[in-house]
């Protein structure tokens, strides 16, 4: 089994489908992962031909399920895009990165509610 396949069994699908793992840090109590959004644009933006990558947003920290007694933190940076025809700078949104009003993953919140 490849490393990426293992990560898909541990992390939420929205993370493994849309982000790349760029760094990792382990301490006695925490596991921290840094993720950058992949350079995938919507089909409409691709066809328009005037949208280009424009850096990243500041990172957002999301707490996920603990792994083997370690708190897990995902430091997520979303990609910024610029529409060269309008000058608009934007980012795509993912509704299920964190639960509304929290910094916890939706799966972790559902688990805690039970």
Ranges of the chain with pLDDT below 50: 101-102, 112
Task: Write the CB contacts of 90 (distance below 8 Å, at least 6 apart in sequence).
Answer: 80, 81, 83
Task: Write the CB contacts of 32 (distance below 8 Å, at least 6 apart in sequence).
Answer: 24, 25, 26, 72, 73, 74, 75
Counted domains in the chain? 1
pTM of the model: 0.75
Q: Give the pLDDT confidence score for residue 49 in this predicted structure.
A: 86
For residue 58, the enclosing domain spans: 3-113
């Amino acid at each position: 089994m490849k490393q990426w396949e293992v990560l898909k069994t541990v992390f939420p699908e929205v993370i493994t489908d849309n982000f790349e793992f760029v760094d990792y840090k382990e301490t006695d109590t925490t596991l921290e992962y840094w993720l950058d959004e992949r350079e995938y644009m919507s089909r409409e933006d691709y066809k328009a031909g005037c949208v280009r990558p424009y850096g990243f947003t500041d990172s957002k920290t999301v707490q996920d399920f603990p792994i083997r007694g370690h708190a897990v933190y995902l430091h997520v940076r979303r990609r910024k895009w610029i529409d060269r025809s309008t000058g608009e700078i934007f980012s795509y949104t993912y509704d299920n990165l964190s639960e509304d009003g929290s910094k916890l993953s939706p799966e972790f919140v559902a688990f805690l509610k039970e």
